[in-house]
Amino acid sequence: MRRATLTGLVVVLMAAFALPAAADELSDFEAARRNYDKQNYAKAARGLESLVGGVVPRARNPVVRLEARKYLGATYLFLGKDDAAREQFRLLLEEDPDYDIDPVAFPEAVVATFQEVQKKVQAEQARREATDAARRKRERAGELEELIRQQQRIQALEELARTETVKKVNSRWIAALPFGIGQFQNENRRLGIMFAVTESAFLAASIATFIGHNSLRDENPAPSELGRARRVERALRIGNWVSVGAFLSFAVAGVVEAQVRFKPEITTTRRRELPDELEQPQSRGPEVRFQLGLTGGKLRVDF
């Protein structure tokens, strides 16, 4: 009696949700269910198979389709078609994972088989969800890596845009000039300063001794001062020779050094400012905020 009551309730619910379904779906299901109740399982199976058999079920109404699969699975069990029964239960649970069978309306063997299939479907669903979660995680990781590569590419392009390359072509004629000019052209600043200072000092000394030596011609020293005058003249003359020789030696050495280490072309890089519209905004880093309101508080982290 209770079984008939539950079956009638199912039929009422099916009728309530069967507005899109054709009338023959309900009538075919009711006829097949009556055969099931009469234990005419072969005829019940044919009627239920006409609703949900094949790749594309004829039953369009979801309630009719789910109930037909449930009764067809139970019918297959009574006919000894266990694999076919499990397949119908699997299709039912894939369409509605939360569906459950009434242990009062069906025999224990049907309920046990249904629960067995239910556990397998749930395990398969869990595996699919885990696989999908892992795939999404890999995709997010790949997207993050791609964003990092794009950021690195942008930074490299920005660095390239900030750097200006300047080429300077040197001259052999300039390298032949004294006073460290060739060294400065080769961008050897220390050596250029050394040659410039040294050559300038010896040149100044040679000019000073030359002027001092020539000034002695206008002097007419007394006999008592004649020895001292000769010593002064000799010192100025030797000093002039030494300073001139040193100046020429350093000048030649500087020119030779500049020619030996001559650089036909010097490439240098220098920084330049980018336009304001090309500047990237500076990241402020993670920022922690705590918001407190009448209904409670919440913690928020902004990047």
* Segment 92-116, tens digit of pLDDT: 999 999 999 999 989 999 999 999 9
What is the average per-residue pLDDT within 75-83? 95
The fold of 2-127 is 1.25.40
pTM, rounded to two decimals: 0.45
Q: Helix (H, G, I), strand (E, B), or coil: what is residue 147? A: helix
The predicted-structure confidence for 130-157, as pLDDT tens digits, reads as follows 999 999 999 998 888 898 988 888 888 8
Count Cα neighbours of 121 within 13 Å in the Cβ-side half-sphere: 21
**pLDDT per position as a tens digit, 166-188:** 778 888 898 788 888 988 888 88
Task: Please give the backbone phi and psi of residue 60, each rounded to the nearest 5 degrees, phi first.
Answer: -90, -30
The reported pLDDT for the residue numbered 257 is 87
∠ CA 166-171-177 to the nearest 5 degrees? 125
Task: State pLDDT tens for residues 51-77.
Answer: 998 888 898 999 999 999 999 999 999
Greater pLDDT, 137 or 269: 137
pLDDT of the residue at 188? 81
Question: Where residue 49 falls among pLDDT bands split at 50, 70, 90?
Answer: very high
Identify the bridge partners of residue 170 per DSSP, sorted by sequence position. none
Residue 192 CB-half CA count within 13 A: 15
The region of weakest confidence among 43-47, 137-141, 229-233, 292-296 is: 292-296
